């Protein structure tokens, strides 16, 4: 990394939109089915998974990591800018990068390739996925 260089991760808007849409839709239907369940108890069993998925989407949206890399630190921030934790780059003992795919053949519609970079230290293990950050190659170069 060059002297005084600062890198901030570029989040993929599609990930945020999927989480936001999931939070809104699942929570809406969960509440709607829960209100309907007051009349028919059987609908309550339908509303519980919707509420659970809505809450899970909200939780993942709030905990989405924004990475900032300075000359000596890797800083994790929330989507709202609150600092969650920081790791000194000197504490990174080793790393592992694995290329992954989610389908057997490239012509399949759900085929996707990505890389997971796992950073290891004495008291931490953190995974950075190329599917989450638009500037993954730049982040990778700065960290290893």
Task: Map out the domains of the chain as residue ranges.
Answer: 7-143
pLDDT band at residue 23 under the 50/70/90 scheme: very high
Closest by CA position to 140, among listed 100, 96, 107? 96
Q: What is the C-alpha to C-alpha distance for residues 124 and 122, in angstroms, rounded to an integer?
A: 6
C-alpha 92, offset from chain centre = 21
- Which pLDDT score is estimated for 53? 92
Secondary structure (DSSP) of 23-69: HHHHHHHHHHHHHHTTT-GGGHHHHHHHHHHHHHHHHHHHT--EEEE
Please state whether beta strands 66-69 and 7-8 pair in parallel, antiparallel, or not at all (unpaired): antiparallel
Residue 5 confidence (pLDDT) above 80: no
Q: What is the C-alpha to C-alpha distance for residues 78 and 98, in angstroms, rounded to an integer?
A: 25
- Which pLDDT score is estimated for 103? 65
CA torsion through residues 101, 78, 15, 140, sign: negative
Put simply, whether the predicted model's pTM sits higher than 0.85 gets the answer no
Query: Residue range 23-43: average pLDDT?
Result: 83
Residues 6+ apart with CB under 8 A from 71: 1, 3, 4, 5
CB 84 within 8 A of CB 76: yes
Residue for token pair 């260089």: 5
Domain boundaries 7-143, CATH class: mainly beta
């Amino acid at each position: 990394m060059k002297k005084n260089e600062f890198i901030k991760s570029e989040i993929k808007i599609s990930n945020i939109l999927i989480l936001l849409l999931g939070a809104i839709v699942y929570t809406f239907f969960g509440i709607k089915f829960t209100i309907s369940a007051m009349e028919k108890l059987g609908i309550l069993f339908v509303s519980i998974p919707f509420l659970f998925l809505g809450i899970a989407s909200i939780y993942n949206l709030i905990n989405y990591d924004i990475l900032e890399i300075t000359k000596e630190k890797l800083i994790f921030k929330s989507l709202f800018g609150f600092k969650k934790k920081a790791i000194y780059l000197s504490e990174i003992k080793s790393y592992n990068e694995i290329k992954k795919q989610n389908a057997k053949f490239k012509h399949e519609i759900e085929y996707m390739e990505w890389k997971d970079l796992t950073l290891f230290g004495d008291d931490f293990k953190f995974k950075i996925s190329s599917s989450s950050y638009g500037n993954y190659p730049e982040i990778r170069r700065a960290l290893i």
